[in-house]
Amino acid sequence: MRIIKHVLMIILILLILFPMFWIVATSVRRDNAAFSTKLFSSRYTFQYYKDLLLNRKNIPQQISELKKMINLSSEYSQMNPEELLNQLNKTEAELKRQMDLSKQQIAKSEKYVDEVVAFARERTDEMVQQFNALKEEEKQFFENRLQDIYESSEQFQLELTYEFIQSIEQVNPEQSRYYSQIISRHSPEFINAYQEIGQSLDSYTTFIEEEYQSWFQKAEGSLDQSIKNELDTIQSDFLSLITPDEFSYSKWNREINLKGYRGITGDLESVLSQENFEAWEQLTELFKATAREIDDKLSDYETRKEAILNDLEKQMAERSEIVEEYLTAEVERKKAYDAIRRMENQIEKDKQAMMGFEERMSLLDQKIQVSVYEISELKELISVELKKANEFSGSSRDEAAVQGVIGELAKIYHKIKEMGEPPSSGDHLNALSQNLNWFLTNENELVQSSGSESLKNAMDILKSQTNPVINDLEDYSILIQSYREAQAKIQENENLLEEQRIILDEKQAQTQELMAKYEEVMTDRRKIDKAKRMISLLTELERTGDYDDLSQYSALAAKFVSEFGLIDNPAKDLLAKISSLDKLVYLDRNYDVETTYLKETVDEIERVLAQFDEKKKSYVNLIYANVMIKSSELNTIENLQKAAYNRFSSELNRIARIASDLSELDEYQEISGSLEQIDKNIFESLQFWTKKPEQQFMRWLINTIILAVATAGITVMICALGAYPFSRLRFKGRKYGLLFLLLIQMFPIVMGMVALYLLLRFIGQFLPGFGLDSLWGLGLIYLGNIAFNMWLLKGYFDTIPDSLEEAAMIDGSTRFQTFWKIVLPLTAPMLAVVFLIVFMANFNEFVLASVVLQSPENYTFAVGLQSFSYGPYQMEWGLFTAAALIGAIPMVILSLSLQRYLVSGLTSGSVKG
């Protein structure tokens, strides 16, 4: 059990300390530890701490400073000419020094690079020798796989032959040899035609070359070099055009005859003798006739090729039909599926609409329910009056009014009947209809009793109800009609949906039936692609002679594996090693190029800087003579720096990353130290050239320390002076004063942010040093958060016996003297606790500081720290964590300094006595 507890404790400690470990590791790692998959790294640096603590300007910043001086920006505007010139000299000297340091840092790597280069060349030679030993076996392996693919099935052989016939004219001669071997097994007649046209084209090429050379040798003495070059270009273009897939007479006439021969004829006529010029014209006519013959030969070849392809297509017709049928069936299946989805969506929309209609009808039904209740009550009242009909026989009757009301009721009654059977939510319509029917049935009795005052009043009330009911019924009628239309539409769509589902089932069954055959065809077509890629591998394999060829073959094999899966070829393990060795070869070939470019850039900048050095005194004099100037030299230097950095930084960073990655591999342990040094030196050299974010970290830290110490000290004084009366004195309002302090503590100060902002803006109009964007203005806000600390001190004061103060007062001390000389010394532990609490809270406070402070030079530590959490291209986690650790030092120092007070201070005041 004890062992388990210890293990759990160790695990908890590791989990608790891991964030701190991560922060420390990130602050000294060159790779981005925040997102790195590696817990530990060999790429450590203290550059972030140097940048924060020393804040030395590197090359881009020095160039920027030179431009600021020439433009006499605000920080240099108060200098006199001599001071400005001295500052220019210092900055220029520092710029030269940093460029020299960057070159020296690169020079440090030369011996390490030589070691790496020697190792790389030795390993590449070994790789080539090992591969040459496996070359024949590798070739046989792929040839066997190619044979296996070819022998898959008769139909596949047809498709492979068809595809290779179509592609044979586009591939290189080495690949066409393999193509011909495969095609000859199934279509020897095409190979005969292909070989015949190839021989014919070769003979035409030889004939054209011989005839041209025969003429050229005779006319060469009369031609200048430009005409010779032009003739050679025309002849070369002519010969390169003589291929089955390139040549046509119209293309030859356009590109060779019209643009070439006719274009140069005028120049030849002016320099050639009559005999040689006539020979030239005869030669062009001969070439024209030859071009026609070539075109005829190729037309015959294309005709024979087309016939062979048509014959193969007929034999493959069934498989082509399978593909077409499947694709057609799949399109129809998708259409049926999409139609079902659309219908389901439409049905859902209509159901939602019906629910909306039902909700609105329910609301109208509730209104009609009220009308039904009122009409029912009136019916009961009127029925009572009708029983007294004989009493009103002599009274004056208002028959027209009663008949008018009955007419309105009849309209309502017929409107309800026209609406038909209402939905389930319209139950009160039937009740309304029954009540209205009673009035219509008893129309004569109502007319006879129209002399009754009670009946008149009831009928007047009934008349006032008719218009609202008619309006409600109009709305109800429209809703019922819409509801029934939606219901009918849903029913129609549901019927169509069932039909469409039957169609979809049929299409799916049809697609499923064709799928197996379709997948077989697609598998064979993938095999065709695989066969083509194998032939490419074989032809590349035959060309391998040195490491470059081997590297190219390795890349081609890797691409083949990525597309067609792993293969167990004899050179598999060797090719896997080549991928990492390629990185080493890349380092070998590119390091010298990029470092040479860096050095050339430095030399060029120094040359331009020397020109600036000659003119800078004149520039300064012109500046102070109020003449606007632009230093072209500084602009040139800036452009050189930007262009150079954009080029060599990416390449050198890549080389550094390669060196770092390879140094961790077991096979490169022999040169791991050299690789690490190359990586380190490149990083340190690039630090001189990298454009870094502007920061004033030390000023932010000093601002925060001053602000936190001042506010903490003032808070301790105010709280001590405020807590003592609440502890020792008895005065009116003491109890409610303490409760008021507690109430204040319940509301965070951030709630008053807007009010505080307006208050500081108002104060700043009269006291700028205490307004917005000022540290002392922020300090005023921090001083407002004293209630909690006053409670702490009040509790601690209560623990100090009153007798000590009473004895001192008996001896003649005043109340303030007892407070200052007796109580405060005894309260030192709690004062230290309050001071530390306030210091830490104000040191790390961010929200209020970010609102009040706008100028970077006034930032506090927390606000300035935020600027390191982002960069132009990535999060600046290294700077961020390094700054956080440096910022923790003042708090650690203060905590250790006050450590002897903390325990007693934190544990005191909790119990009185």
Residue 402 has pLDDT above 70, yes or no: yes
What is the Cβ-side half-sphere exposure of residue 95, based on CA atoms within 13 angstroms? Answer: 29
Q: Which residues of 185-204 are buried (b: 16+ CB within 10 A; e: fewer)?
A: ebbeebbebbeebbebbeeb
280 within some domain: yes
Region 352-381 average pLDDT: 80
Q: Please, what's the largest Cα pairwise distance for the chain?
A: 150
Task: With cut-offs at 50, 70 and 90, classify the pLDDT of residue 2.
Answer: confident
- Whole-number mean pLDDT of the chain? 84
Region 375-383 average pLDDT: 78
Amino acid 394: pLDDT: 47
Amino acid 36: pLDDT: 60
pLDDT tens, residue by residue, 552-570? 898 898 888 888 887 888 8
CATH number, domain containing residue 279: 1.20.120
Residue 400 has pLDDT above 90, yes or no: no
Region 70-87 average pLDDT: 87
**Lowest pLDDT segment from 31-40, 510-519, 569-578, 596-605:** 31-40
- Whether the CB-CB separation of 25 and 870 falls below 8 Å is answered with no
Query: Phi-psi bin for 552: left (phi > 0), alpha (psi -120 to 50), beta?
Result: alpha
Task: With cut-offs at 50, 70 and 90, classify the pLDDT of residue 717.
Answer: very high
Given the structure tokens 């993938």, which residue do they identify? 526
In sequence order, what are the residues at sequence separation of 6 or more whose Cβ sits closer than 8 angstroms to the Cβ of residue 142?
Answer: 534, 537, 538, 541, 569
Q: How far apart are CA 524 and CA 540, in angstroms?
A: 24
pLDDT tens, residue by residue, 403-431? 777 887 788 778 777 777 766 555 677 77
Last residue of a domain, one of 648, 666, 692: 692
Q: How far is CA 205 from CA 198, 228, 247, in A?
A: 10, 20, 12
Shared domain for 264 and 358, answered yes or no, is: no
Shared domain for 76 and 115, answered yes or no, is: yes
CB neighbour class for 750 (10 Å; exposed up to 12, middle 13-18, buried from 19): exposed
Three-state DSSP state, 911: coil
Shared domain for 120 and 203, answered yes or no, is: no
30 within some domain: no
Q: Phi and psi at residue 912, in whole multiples of 5°? A: -85, 140
Residue 906 has pLDDT above 60, yes or no: no
CB neighbour class for 884 (10 Å; exposed up to 12, middle 13-18, buried from 19): middle
Amino acid 396: pLDDT: 60
Q: Phi and psi at residue 256, in whole multiples of 5°? A: -100, -50
499 within some domain: no
Length of the chain in terms of residues written: 913
709 within some domain: yes
- Whether the CB-CB separation of 706 and 717 falls below 8 Å is answered with no
Amino acid 913: pLDDT: 38
Nearest to 205 by CA among 240, 256, 252: 240
Amino acid 859: pLDDT: 92
- Outline where 664-696 has alpha helix (H): 672-686
Amino acid at 430: N
Total domain count for the chain? 4
**Which pairs count as long-range contacts for 226-233, CB under 8 Å and 24+ apart, including other chains?**
227/264, 227/267, 227/268, 227/271, 230/264, 230/267, 231/264
Task: With cut-offs at 50, 70 and 90, classify the pLDDT of residue 189.
Answer: very high
Given the structure tokens 């004084």, which residue do they identify? 717
Instruction: Please work out, in degrees rounded to the nearest 5, the angle formed at the alpha carbon of residue 739 by the alpha carbons of 734 and 744.
Output: 125
- Whether the CB-CB separation of 629 and 601 falls below 8 Å is answered with no
Shared domain for 361 and 457, answered yes or no, is: yes
According to DSSP, the residues that pair with 44 across neighbouring strands are 29
804 within some domain: yes
Tokens of 661: 């990655």
For residue 44, the 8-state DSSP code is: B
Shared domain for 240 and 386, answered yes or no, is: no
Q: How far apart are CA 727 and CA 30, in angstroms?
A: 57
Given the structure tokens 């010029």, which residue do they identify? 277
Amino acid 456: pLDDT: 73
Shared domain for 231 and 277, answered yes or no, is: yes
Amino acid 625: pLDDT: 82
Tokens of 617: 């005194």
Task: With cut-offs at 50, 70 and 90, classify the pLDDT of residue 391.
Answer: low
Instruction: Please work out, in degrees rounded to the nearest 5, the angle formed at the alpha carbon of residue 261 by the alpha carbons of 258 and 263.
Output: 70
Task: With cut-offs at 50, 70 and 90, classify the pLDDT of residue 886.
Answer: very high
The helix or strand, by DSSP H or E, that contains position 184, with its residue range, turns out to be: helix 173-186
Amino acid 369: pLDDT: 79
pLDDT > 90 in the chain, percent: 15
Shared domain for 750 and 877, answered yes or no, is: yes
In sequence order, what are the residues at sequence separation of 6 or more whose Cβ sits closer than 8 angstroms to the Cβ of residue 409?
Answer: 436, 439, 440, 462, 466
Amino acid 909: pLDDT: 44
Amino acid 425: pLDDT: 54
Tokens of 328: 């057609």
Amino acid 35: pLDDT: 56
Residue 912 has pLDDT above 60, yes or no: no
More confident residue, 112 or 474: 112
Shared domain for 721 and 665, answered yes or no, is: no
Last residue of a domain, one of 663, 692, 721: 692
561 within some domain: no
Region 449-453 average pLDDT: 70
* Sequential DSSP letters for 540-558: HHHH--SHHHHHHHHHHHH
Residue 712 has pLDDT above 90, yes or no: yes
Q: Phi and psi at residue 634, in whole multiples of 5°? A: -65, -35
Shared domain for 783 and 888, answered yes or no, is: yes
pLDDT tens, residue by residue, 33-42? 555 666 667 7
Amino acid 300: pLDDT: 92
Amino acid 838: pLDDT: 92
**Lowest pLDDT segment from 182-196, 198-212, 424-438, 587-601:** 424-438
More confident residue, 903 or 810: 810
Task: With cut-offs at 50, 70 and 90, classify the pLDDT of residue 397.
Answer: low
Tokens of 620: 């300064």
Region 847-861 average pLDDT: 90
Shared domain for 901 and 759, answered yes or no, is: yes
Residue 291 has pLDDT above 60, yes or no: yes
Shared domain for 818 and 784, answered yes or no, is: yes
Amino acid 34: pLDDT: 54
Q: How many Cβ atoms from other residues are within 10 Å of residue 287's Cβ? A: 20
Last residue of a domain, one of 657, 692, 727: 692
Residue 452 has pLDDT above 80, yes or no: no
Measure the CA dihedral 544/550/552/558, to 10°.
120
853 within some domain: yes
- Whether the CB-CB separation of 641 and 59 falls below 8 Å is answered with yes
Tokens of 232: 């050679």
Region 764-790 average pLDDT: 86
CATH number, domain containing residue 785: 1.10.3720.10
CA 733 to the chain's CA centroid: 62
Shared domain for 701 and 683, answered yes or no, is: no
Supply the range of the domain harboring residue 321: 152-334
pLDDT tens, residue by residue, 236-283? 999 999 988 888 999 999 989 888 888 888 888 888 888 888 899 899
540 within some domain: no
Q: Phi and psi at residue 304, in whole multiples of 5°? A: -65, -40
Residue 493 has pLDDT above 90, yes or no: no
pLDDT tens, residue by residue, 623-649? 888 887 888 899 999 999 988 888 877
